[in-house]
Amino acid sequence: MSTAAPSWWIKPLWISDYAIAVLSVAVAIAADVLFERLAGADPSALLFLCAIMFVAWAAGTGPALLATLLAAVAFDYLLLMSARSFVLQFKDVPHFALFIVAALFVVWLNAGQRRTAASLRRANETLRIENAERKRVEERARLAEQELQATIDTIPALAARHRADGTIDFVNRNWRNYTGLSQDEWKGRGAVVIHPDDLPGVDDAWLAHVATGEPFETEQRLRRADGEYRWHFIRRVPLRDDKGEVIAWYGAGYDIEDRKQAEDALRRNQAELAEARRELQLTIDSIPAMVSTYRPDGTHSFVNQTWINYTGMTLEEAVSERGKGLFHSDDPERAAWRASLASGEPLLAEAPIRGADGEYRWYSIRRVPLRNEKGEIVKWYSIGFNIEDRKRAESALQRSQAYSAEAQKLSLTGSMAWDLASGDHFWSDETYQIMGFDRGIEPSIDLIMERVHPDDRARFRDEVDRAAQGAQTHDYEYRLLMPDGKIKHLHVRAHRVRYESGKEEIVGALMDITESRKSQAALDAAQTALAHASRVATLGEISASIAHEVNQPLAAIVANGHACLRFLRRETPDLDDVRGAVEWIVKDGNRAGEVIRRVRGLMKKADTEKVLLDINDVINEVAALLRRELTAQQVTLQLELAAAIPAVVADRIQLQQVIINLVMNGVEAMQAIAGGPHALEVRSYQDEAHQVVVAVKDSGAGIPGEAAERVFDAFFSTKPGGLGMGLSICRSIIEVHGGRLWSSANTGPGATFQFALPAYRRNVP
């Protein structure tokens, strides 16, 4: 393919065309001037030369020569001296020759110009053809390059080209899509996507291969566009020139993250498998049972460490001896084992096995066969559990059952169970005896309900419903009305038991506490009498205060009576004053009557009467009753009563007795402190458990450390002449009301006694 003329050469050719035209005109003008000066010819000769020039330009060399000939004839005929004649005179020869030379020169100039133009056209055509061919070649090359680019971009790998120095020159679309970097961002920046931990080693290895020209292979983590690093296998090979010099490197990267994970998983699995084998061996050896395997003929093929430790035999000894001496010669297990080997049926037996110490212990033995695809036995698996303790426990249980039956008879306690799913009941012999039914009768809830006292049937039914609804524990009492009319008191305690199978039962015991209830009734009567005696004794101690409380309203009544009489003796009685005096008499009479009512209430010996009470009212009543006594003892009483406090259900007289006792104990404790402040504080509040609390805090000597645990015991007192019954009675009263009484040392001097009672809640039983 010829090389096209350069563009800088084409332009002068066009310029020369115009130059020749100008030169031709110049020649014609010069010739005309010469004609005029040399021969005095007519200036019209210039027109002939110009005509020849234009014919040469327009028609070419042949027409130009013809035009020259015709112009020469015309010149000879028209312009020379012998005008209108074709005869050429001698003196006209120079003129004619000059004209011919000028005309031919113009033709020659134009012919050269036309040749140049033709050459230029041919060169341009050749150049056009060459340019068209070059464009076709370039288009084919561009298409080939696009196809190659598309092929490289569609390769399912990360393809790249590196320069001879190792820097990146090109990456395919997969590289760009994976990394999120453009072609320009990629050049020379391969390190930005390599994991920081892999970068130093990869760079050093790559530079070493660039220096030697050897192919490069490595595994490294590359950062994906979303920031995740994934493992890739990278391979780069060099491209060399004719001299063997590396001129480029071509590389490809393949995602091997899944393979890496699979390899890691495989390594972990292999490690876990090896560890599992070790653990399995350790587990089997650690099983507190004798594990072994047998060949189809019944000889041992494996025994665990427990088996070896117990029998004192190695596997080799077990194989050679075939377990000789481990069982009694007449033990049924040996015959059963031979039968299992013959039939292929599993073996389940219990037999004593001799240990390394020569002692036989009971074991539960189970052996099952392992079969192949054909159903043939290839191995037997055996496990033996030490049941020596169970055997002994069974013997002990048999004895215990006999003992338990006797113990239930002696303690009047029966056992029972209720299967919630099936509704079945179990009663011990003593339960039948307590309930008064024959042993052959099937127990049931309805059967029990026949004997439950009518007044207690609702409570019993509530407990049955609680059990059906999932209650975990039961602790209640009810009475039985026996056929002979006698009343039995029963105390039932039971709880829910869930077994591994999911089965649930109510298991418990019932105790005949009839005699205990009779004794408790007698004890309660004695305690009530003792509490009454304590109240009477307390009243004796505060008799002066009571007398003062009664004398005050009586003295006021007398004074108001005298005033009333004086008002009536006036000439004109003042009835308003009389009415006011009478009203005061009534008020003071009621006041005296209230004091007497309180005293009579404390002295009264009656049954407990629990009503809804405001504890603050009870405290205020006690404060009014003891005001004179506290003043006489120089004790300052401070009341800190909660404004909003729940009511309690209690006996007013008994609560008054408890508060009086605590207050008087505090007063006596402070009398031993000479010169100190005698302040007594009574508080009421509601605690976190929503109980109503009354606290009596004194500033006395406090409770000695050794006496703190016994201060509520009966007949224990810290006072020289005390009987030790007051606090014991107070605690009994509070406990009967469902509360508790306790004491604590103050941060400063003295002690605090306080009791808590359950707050009344509406609609709560």
Does the pLDDT value for residue 115 go beyond 90?
no
Does the pLDDT value for residue 104 go beyond 80?
no
Nearest to 622 by CA among 555, 552, 694, 685: 694
- Judge if 370 and 404 occupy the same domain: no
How many whole angstroms separate alpha carbon 481 and alpha carbon 627?
53
- Judge if 594 and 616 occupy the same domain: no
- Judge if 223 and 243 occupy the same domain: yes
Q: What is the pLDDT of residue 361?
A: 86
As beta bridge partners, residue 416 has: 427, 508
All residues at 6 or more sequence positions from 650 whose CB lies less than 8 Å from its CB, including other chains: 610, 611, 613, 737, 757
Number of domains in the chain: 6
pLDDT band for 744, please (50, 70, 90 cuts).
confident
Please provide residue 706's backbone torsions phi and psi, each rounded to the nearest 5 degrees: -75, -15
- Judge if 593 and 446 occupy the same domain: no
The number of helix segments (H) and strand segments (E) in the chain equals 21, 22
Which helix H or strand E contains 679, and what residues bound it? strand 679-686
Q: Assign residue 474 the CATH number of its domain.
A: 3.30.450.20
Q: What would the pLDDT profile of 496-505 be if each residue is shown by its tens digit?
A: 888 777 778 8
Please tell me the pTM assigned to this model. 0.31
SS3 371: strand
Which helix H or strand E contains 729, and what residues bound it? helix 726-736
- Judge if 382 and 402 occupy the same domain: no
Q: What is the pLDDT of residue 482?
A: 84
Q: What is the pLDDT of residue 614?
A: 92
SS3 157: coil
Q: What are the structure tokens assigned to 572, written together?
A: 């004109």
- Judge if 463 and 397 occupy the same domain: yes
State the residue for tokens 């990146």: 168
- Judge if 534 and 643 occupy the same domain: no
User: Higher pLDDT residue, 765 or 734?
Assistant: 734
Does the pLDDT value for residue 731 go beyond 50?
yes
State the residue for tokens 């979303």: 226
Q: What would the pLDDT profile of 579-620 be if each residue is shown by its tens digit?
A: 777 777 777 676 666 666 655 555 555 455 688 989 999 898
How high is the mean pLDDT of the chain? 75
Q: What is the pLDDT of residue 757?
A: 92
Q: What is the pLDDT of residue 683?
A: 92
Q: What is the pLDDT of residue 22?
A: 59
All residues at 6 or more sequence positions from 728 whose CB lies less than 8 Å from its CB, including other chains: 712, 713, 714, 715, 716
Which helix H or strand E contains 230, and what residues bound it? strand 229-240
Q: What would the pLDDT profile of 271-318 be if each residue is shown by its tens digit?
A: 888 887 787 778 887 788 888 888 888 888 888 888 888 888 887 887
In a domain, 731, yes or no: yes
CB 222 within 8 A of CB 194: yes
In a domain, 403, yes or no: yes
- Judge if 454 and 585 occupy the same domain: no
% of the chain beyond a pLDDT of 90? 4
In a domain, 110, yes or no: yes
Q: What are the structure tokens assigned to 509, written together?
A: 């015991």
Domain housing 220: 155-255
Residue 193 falls in which region: left (phi positive, over 0), alpha (psi -120 to 50) or beta:
alpha
Q: What are the structure tokens assigned to 268, written together?
A: 């972990």
Q: What is the pLDDT of residue 685?
A: 92
pLDDT band for 742, please (50, 70, 90 cuts).
confident
How many whole angstroms separate alpha carbon 364 and alpha carbon 289?
10
Q: What is the pLDDT of residue 13?
A: 41
Q: What would the pLDDT profile of 647-689 be if each residue is shown by its tens digit?
A: 999 888 778 878 888 888 888 888 777 666 688 899 999 988 8
How many whole angstroms separate alpha carbon 676 and alpha carbon 631?
16
How many whole angstroms separate alpha carbon 745 and alpha carbon 697?
9
Q: What is the pLDDT of residue 47?
A: 65
Q: Which of 586, 607, 628 is the last residue of a domain?
A: 607
Q: Which of 556, 588, 607 is the last residue of a domain?
A: 607
CA angle in degrees (0–180, nearest 5) for 514-408-394:
160
Mean pLDDT of 148-173: 81
Q: What would the pLDDT profile of 336-393 be if each residue is shown by its tens digit?
A: 888 888 888 998 888 888 888 888 888 888 889 999 988 889 899 888 888 888 877 7
Q: What would the pLDDT profile of 400-459 be if each residue is shown by its tens digit?
A: 555 555 555 555 677 778 887 777 887 877 778 788 788 778 888 888 888 888 888 888
Q: What would the pLDDT profile of 180-209 be if each residue is shown by its tens digit?
A: 887 777 665 566 788 888 888 888 888 888
State the residue for tokens 């003043």: 631
In a domain, 182, yes or no: yes
In a domain, 363, yes or no: yes
Neighbouring C-beta atoms of residue 433, cutoff 10 Å: 16
pLDDT band for 695, please (50, 70, 90 cuts).
very high
Q: What is the pLDDT of residue 436?
A: 79
- Judge if 458 and 519 occupy the same domain: no
Q: What is the pLDDT of residue 12?
A: 44
State the residue for tokens 């009768």: 441
Q: What is the pLDDT of residue 533?
A: 57
Q: What is the pLDDT of residue 693?
A: 93
Nearest to 680 by CA among 629, 637, 632: 637
